[in-house]
């Protein structure tokens, strides 16, 4: 196994169980049942979709996601909003999937199209457009603290940062499998040291801010800050745990 993969296995496979207790005990304190149910520590499950007795409710539900939404609405004493008109619907889908408004001609064609698959076709067309990756890749870039400068005092420009940005956009547009997407970013330089794409993906590890002020000339200290920042982002972006807190805290 490659060195970075080993490093991350240590974080995810050793450090976390130590913090919460590999045998469900709390070596650093006593945690409440509620704390032990923190969402990042709960195994994924496949709950049964809610069932409804009223015909109107059953008719409203078109898929399992609708069932969960309707169940929560009913719990809160609310009812679903009325379906959007066609002009509103196409605008919502455009802004949601590609972040741009539809052209007037697109709206007119969608309103005139009475075929039962007109909406699914619209969604598929937008998902296949290059603007989809540009829109949704931004969410991932925010999660992994992407920036085109170093931050702090000098805020030096990172002239090649756009390569990682384009890697993320292309990954979304090419429907890259999520497990591969993560692997390339964590250890791209190890799994494909001669491939431009995987080397660029590994830039994930150095996207964070870089302090270069003249007052800190200690090389070891600077390297420690970089490694700590790398550990922090793995916890916050992939594990659902703020590992950076462990620098100063030993409790939940």
**Which tens digits make up the pLDDT trace of 89-125?**
999 999 999 999 999 999 999 999 999 999 999 999 9
Q: Same domain, yes or no, for 147 and 100? A: no
Same domain, 173 and 118: no
Domain check: are 150 and 204 in the same one? yes
Residue 69 lies in a domain: no
Same domain assignment for residues 118 and 193: no
User: Can you tell me whether residue 195 is helix, strand or coil?
Assistant: coil
3-state helix, strand, coil in the chain (%, to 5): 60, 0, 40
* Domain presence at residue 18: no
| Pair 224, 213 in one domain | yes
Same domain, 139 and 168: yes
CB 52 within 8 A of CB 34: no
Per DSSP, the three-state class of 122 is: helix
The answer to whether residues 104 and 202 belong to one domain is no
Best CA proximity match to 206, nearest among 225, 190, 221, 220: 225
Q: Domain boundary residue among 76, 99, 128?
A: 128
Count of domains forming the chain:
2
Asked if residue 145 and residue 121 are part of one domain, the reply reads no
Supply the pTM of this predicted model: 0.80
Structural domain boundaries, residue 146:
131-247
* One domain, residues 136 and 213: yes
Q: Which residues pair with 157 in a beta bridge?
A: 149
Answer for the pair 202, 189: CB distance below 8 angstroms, yes or no.
yes
Torsion of CA 59, 60, 64, 68, to 10 degrees: -130
Most confident of 43-52, 129-138, 242-251: 129-138
Give the distance from CA 91 to its chain's centroid.
Answer: 24
Q: How far apart are CA 38 and CA 32, in angstroms?
A: 10
Whether residue 10 has pLDDT greater than 60: no
User: Both 216 and 150 in a single domain?
Assistant: yes
Q: Average pLDDT for residues 77-97, to the nearest whole number? A: 96
Return the DSSP state at 247. G
Last residue of a domain, one of 78, 97, 128: 128
Buried (b) or exposed (e) across 122-135, using 16+ Cβ within 10 A?
beeebeebeebbbb
Same domain membership, residue 204 and residue 139: yes
- Residue 121, token pair as written in the block: 């076709």
Nearest-angstrom CA–CA distance, 111 and 85: 9
Token pair recorded at residue 125: 């067309």
- Model confidence pLDDT, tens digit, residues 156-179: 899 999 999 999 999 999 999 999
Structural domain includes residue 210: yes
Which among 113, 128, 143 is the end of a domain?
Answer: 128
Of 210, 214, 186, the residue nearest 198 (C-alpha): 186
Q: Is residue 36 part of a domain?
A: no
Q: Which residues are CB-neighbours of 175 under 8 A, at least 6 positions away?
A: none
pLDDT at 24: 52
Task: Examine the domain organization and report whether 173 and 227 are in the same domain.
Answer: yes
Q: Is pLDDT of 3 > 70?
A: no
């Amino acid at each position: 196994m490659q060195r970075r993969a080993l490093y991350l296995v240590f974080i995810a496979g050793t450090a976390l169980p130590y913090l919460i207790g590999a045998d469900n005990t709390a070596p650093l304190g006593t945690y409440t049942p509620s704390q032990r149910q923190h969402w990042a520590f709960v195994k994924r499950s496949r709950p049964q979709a809610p069932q409804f007795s009223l015909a109107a409710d059953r008719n409203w539900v078109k898929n399992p996601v609708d069932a969960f939404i309707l169940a929560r609405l009913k719990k809160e004493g609310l009812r679903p909003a009325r379906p959007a008109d066609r002009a509103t619907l196409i605008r919502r889908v455009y802004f949601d999937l590609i972040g741009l408004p539809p052209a007037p001609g697109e709206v007119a064609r969608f309103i005139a199209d009475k075929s039962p698959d007109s909406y699914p076709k619209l969604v598929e067309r937008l998902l296949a457009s290059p603007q989809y990756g540009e829109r949704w890749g931004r969410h991932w870039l925010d999660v992994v603290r992407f920036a085109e400068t170093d931050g702090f005092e000098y805020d030096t420009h990172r002239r090649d940062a756009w390569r990682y940005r384009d890697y993320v956009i292309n990954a979304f547009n090419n429907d890259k499998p999520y497990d591969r997407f993560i692997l390339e970013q964590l250890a791209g330089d190890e799994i494909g040291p001669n491939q431009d794409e995987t080397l660029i993906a590994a830039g994930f590890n150095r996207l964070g801010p870089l302090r270069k002020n003249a007052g800190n000339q200690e090389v070891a200290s600077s390297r420690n800050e970089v490694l700590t920042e790398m550990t922090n982002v793995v916890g916050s972006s992939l594990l659902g745990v703020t590992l950076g807190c462990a620098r100063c805290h030993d409790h939940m």
